Structure 1
Amino acid sequence: MLTQDAAYLYGDAQAVYKVRQLPRLTHGCDADDSQDFGGVVLTKEEGDRIGAALGPKGKGMILQNHGLLTVGSTVDEACFLMTLMERACKCQLLAEAAAANGLAKVLIPDESAKYTFENSSDPETLYWEGQSDLQYEEYMSKSEHRG
């Protein structure tokens, strides 16, 4: 795990990479178990496959060749987790690019990631953490969505 944003998803994030797994972020996910995403979910079976891959405690996953998916107890929670996953993916790509050029990656210790997860990933915390993002978006849109 390379960024604190990913710590919110510690142990429950599911990512699918054909190449290799990301350390600690994909806890409990087997790269050989990856399934192709069938596109837009038009059937119950495709939704069931995605739900099964996410699992009972999962909060987010990467759909191969499609993008990110997050879930939450509220829309606000799911939106905030999406923001965190986007940041974590960006940090991961930047770190991988830097590592390819010889810079060593410094991973967040497992104990620190677990502590952050246990103390900041409950639904209420995630809801409130996301409020500033929503307020910013409302400010930037000049509340045009309200008509």
Structure 2
Amino acid sequence: MWLEEKGKPAVEVASSCGLLNKLHTNGVIGDAEVTAAQMWARDYETGIMGAKDPEASSKGGNPDPEYALLSRIAAADRCRYVVKCLGKRSEDFLYSFLIDHMSISQVAGQRKRDRRQISGAIELLLGQLADVYADMPGKMWFNKIG
């Protein structure tokens, strides 16, 4: 994905979320937070929204139906685990900027909060999300022993 900002040349970024990339570039969040956010977004899209898991079809073009099903179940289980650890409100917040791609200003307007409060909340939430993914039990990863 290419990110374009006013007055700056376009840069290629790995994240599909411009807000996530901006926070990372500005040093507000680190690699662990970016990785956790990307994992959560992929898990949500795969397990909750029913999108195809990109890894399920990366082996030779045709996905193995059993692997695709296990992948979807594992993604949904991880999403439920995140809600159990962080709460439904945190999931709604993550959804706003990782799935709906809302800006800090849009989220602040939606929640009737100051931009600085929202920015701080995002930073804290992503730190907590990184901790949840780091400490997630091995059984949550169907292909992981643990």
TM norm. shorter chain > 0.5? no
Which structure shows the bigger proportion of residues in strand conformation? 1
Which structure shows the bigger proportion of residues in helix conformation? 2
The TM-score, its normalising length taken from structure 2, stands at: 0.32
The TM-score, its normalising length taken from structure 1, stands at: 0.32
Q: Higher relative CO (CA 8 A, sep ≥ 6), structure 1 or 2?
A: 1
